[in-house]
Amino acid sequence: MSILSWLKNTLAGELPTKMEFADHEQHLHGLDMKSALDAHAAWKTRLEAQIRGDAGETLSVATVAADNNCALGHWIHGDGQSQFGEYPEYAQLRKVHAEFHLCAGGILSDAHDGNAVAADASLKKHFRHHSDAVQLALVRLYAKGLENEGNSPGQRH
């Protein structure tokens, strides 16, 4: 399902299905949306490995909890802000993205402290909500940008 079809279905209250991007839909003013969303989706796997203690990487809680260290965060605090900063959808994306990273940082902190039960509970209870909120907010901003500029996604670089 294309990103715009996914958005329409989600806003209509249908349960989200897997989002796929047509070639002309993938970019938003310097942001590769598919890569950004895929990277955020990968956090669940990375955090699960941290909780199990078999991660092949060492993650800093402060780095993970900060919302400006990932590609999406760089974009939100840079090109995204300059292009979309006046939109309420941008403010919502910035807010839910920061909350996502605080949640991930909290899970990682619990995992580092040896509290796997709390980390796992938070991953199952809160993480999905925050991840879904980031996806939805980004797609809403994408749609708002198209609506306000009247451009097709392929024209946005």
Within 10 angstroms of residue 61's Cβ, the number of other Cβ atoms is 17
Per-chain mean pLDDT for the chain = 83
Give the chain's domain count: 1
Q: How confident is the model at residue 68 (pLDDT cuts 50, 70, 90)?
A: very high
Phi, psi (5° rounding) for residue 16?
A: -65, 140
- Paired tokens of 101: 């990273």
Which of 14-23, 26-35, 146-155 is predicted least confidently? Answer: 146-155
Instruction: Label residue 4 by pLDDT band (50, 70, 90).
Output: low
Q: Domain range for residue 72?
A: 3-155
Q: What is the DSSP string of 60-115?
A: -HHHHH-TTSSHHHHHHTTHHHHHHTTSHHHHHHHHHHHHHHHHHHHHHHHHHTT-
Q: Which residues contact 113 (CB under 8 A, 6 or more apart)?
A: none
**pLDDT per residue as tens digits for the range 54-63:** 988 989 999 9
Residue 153, amino acid: P
Residue 150 has pLDDT above 60, yes or no: no
pLDDT score of 109 more than 80: yes
Whether the Cβ atoms of residue 107 and residue 45 lie closer than 8 Å to each other: no
Rounded to whole angstroms, the Cα distance separating 135 from 119 reads: 22
Contact 40, 72 (CB under 8 A): yes
CA 40 to chain centre: 5
Backbone angles phi, psi at 111, to 5 degrees: -65, -45
CATH (domain of 108): 1.20.120.30
Task: Give the Cα separation of 88 and 40 in Å (integer).
Answer: 22
